[in-house]
Amino acid sequence: MSGQAPASDNVLGLEPHSGQDFYVPAFRVAVNGKELHNIERDVISLSYGDKKNDIDHAELTVRNWDPDKKGPPGCWKYSDSDTLNPWQEIEIWMGYYQGGKDELRRMMVGELVRMTPSFVADSPATLSVRAMGILNRFRTSQISKDYSNKKDSFIFQDIVSMVAKQTRQTLTNLTLQTDSDEITRTLAREKDVKALTIKQQYAINYLLKRANDINYELHADVSQGPLGSPRTVTVHYRPSDMVDKNRPTYHLEWGKTLLSFQPSLATANQVSEVIVRSWNPDLKKKFEGRATLADLQNEGIIDPTGDLNVAQGPLSKKTQIITNHVVQSDAEALEAARSELRNLAQGIVIGKGKTIGIPDLRTGVIVQITGLGTRFSGAYVVEATTHSISDGGYTTDFTCRMQKQVPPGKSPATQ
């Protein structure tokens, strides 16, 4: 629907009041380049979710009963039509209308992957569909390849090049690429990986897991353009500290823009040191890497004593030894130790929150939360979100982790 269409066309029955200028929750859905104007009044709920280093997804539930038909089988409005069939491309926008002005954001470009009708006696007939983000379209075939003495960004670029070649014949409207300037910057700071083997894995699955292992962030940008036009998909693969410098920041205040928040301070899994040990039988050599919390001091890791005023007991000085990691050098063992320690340390304060719907509140942004006292107010990095529109309005649920406090007036994004 166009930006000037009446807000009532797609807000699940929420109507603006004459003469009043306020935000009205709204959405748009397009399948295979065509906006589904007729389906919007049948939508019961729409949700979109994203998560760090994972493929985003969406769920759409519609009324499946056609009141103009006398009964089965012709009354099933969507389950017997091809409108929402799997394997079709879908685009979803969410946001608001203000005074008739379209302020929606494109949340995803992806693919319909599942259709689930519900036929229950004495209940309305519904149909739910699930969509996966654009990266899911590049799960074309599994790959196997060995790399030796190559940097991670070289491996990433080589894998994306292979996938782009595979998909060029089948997905003719999509062009997959990397950012060459970004690759140059990341290569300049990386060390060679002595040996890396990929065995029968979908390339995207491997890259998402590798990003988690080495504290990188992987996501895709899809070019804007008219509906149905060819798209360019640019895949980004960067260290988290490179992304930190450009993260947007939102201020949420308890009792105002923050509807609910449940933080959790957990110490059971916290350790002060991680040691990774591996034995190479061919070289008859042992590799070892040790990481302590001091190694992570520049990564925004929370210090329970200094940042939260929590006295640490004698059991806080724990060491975790890992022997099941396969590494080929002391440097790889050290990186594996740092990765494990980082994953543990980042979980000391986590939170679940709900706010009014904010389309741009996505994975990776920073929320500066206030109104929760001195211990739990502060900067949190968002790690997953769920955006939901229903007859109850538009809300955004999110999970996050606290990062190190910053001085007043200083943006955590620039720390």
| Other CB atoms within 10 Å distance of the CB of residue 16 | 18
pLDDT at position 196: 87
> Using N-to-C axis directions, what is the helix angle for 203-213 and 152-167, rounded to 10°?
160
In a domain, 2, yes or no: no
Write out the two tokens for 106.
Answer: 């494109």
Question: What CATH number did the domain enclosing 355 receive?
Answer: 2.40.30.150
| Residue 371, in any domain of the structure | yes
Query: How many domains would you assign to the chain?
Result: 4
Long-range contacts of 239-242 (CB under 8 A, 24+ apart): 239/186, 239/189, 239/214, 239/215, 240/215, 240/216, 240/299, 241/298, 241/299, 242/185, 242/186
> What confidence score (pLDDT) does residue 73 get?
67
Q: Are residues 161 and 236 in the same domain?
A: yes
Identify whether residues 89 and 201 lie together within a single domain.
no
Residue numbers of the domain that contains 292? 273-345
Domain co-membership, 366 together with 410: yes
Question: Beta strands 231-239 and 174-178: pairing type?
Answer: parallel
In a domain, 249, yes or no: yes
> Which amino acid is residue 116, in one-letter code?
T
Helix (H) or strand (E) holding 382: strand 378-390
Look up the CATH number of the domain holding residue 205.
Answer: 3.55.50
pLDDT tens track, the chain, 415 positions: 333 333 333 333 333 333 444 578 999 999 998 999 888 889 999 999 999 999 999 999 999 988 877 667 668 889 999 999 999 999 999 999 887 788 899 999 999 999 999 988 888 899 999 999 999 988 888 899 999 999 999 999 999 999 999 888 888 888 999 999 999 999 999 999 888 889 999 999 999 999 988 889 999 999 988 888 889 999 999 988 787 666 788 999 999 999 999 999 988 778 888 999 988 887 788 999 898 888 887 777 888 777 787 877 776 788 889 988 878 888 888 888 888 888 888 888 999 999 999 999 999 899 999 999 989 999 999 999 999 999 889 999 999 999 875 444 444 333 3
Of 295, 269, 305, 303, nearest to 404 by C-alpha is: 303
